Amino acid sequence: MAGCPPEAILKCVPGQIVALGGGGFSATGAPTPIDEFIVSLAGRPRPRVCFLGTASGDAESYLARFYRAYAQLDCRPCDLPLFQTPITHDLPRFVMEQQAFYVGGGSTVNLLAVWRLHGLDRLLREAWEAGAVLAGMSAGAICWFEAYLTDSMGPDLAPREDGLGFLTGSACPHFSDDPQRRPSYQRLIAEGFPAGFALDDGAAVHFRGRELVDVVSERSGAQAYRISLDDGRLVEEPLQARLLD
């Protein structure tokens, strides 16, 4: 990696991102096909999978659901809390020891602020560039993009362009499951908001580096969409999702 120019680094070591609109273990505490898919991407037996519950303020109930689910998978689950004092981990060393990260849902704005305060945004980019799998649902899905649609600022959906920028463009979770998401996201893109991906609950987009390589679903009918402008015309392109067993 040291010999790669910055613009070529993702071609040297392709990290992966799985962005899930909603679903996964979060609802029940039981592993779903997408959770199994995420673990499989690490490419080794019993990978270390770290849960980041920052968006929920490290809620204990969320953490318990993660451990209950991922203890049933072929991996070594752990977590990185950032709301305890003091933080007990050597962050750079701890982050580089993980093969995969799962980021839970909650407030995207709060997640980004806390990560940047602790320098975790930079450490996760380094881990991704070294080949780690970054995954997450809702806030944990849209944080990787340049821009996103969120309810983190109050009851109304709001556009933000302060994402991590690991992936270009924008993202919107819960697309077909929240009646306000589709019209809000379409209107914003028609007005010049960055084009991007809309994700139903139960559907996920899988990137290797910055290249979309797969769209997967854990339930029938859930899918992803590419929303863009073409000569001033709004285009909603359904992306065929592969239903996981």
Write out the catalytic residue numbers: 138, 174
Contact by Cβ (8 Å): 207, 213: yes
> Strand order in 48-52's β-sheet?
76-79, 48-52, 100-103, 133-137, 16-20, 203-208, 211-217, 242-243
Angstrom distance (rounded) from CA 60 to CA 125: 26
The pair of three-digit structure tokens given for residue 221, joined into one six-digit string: 């009918």
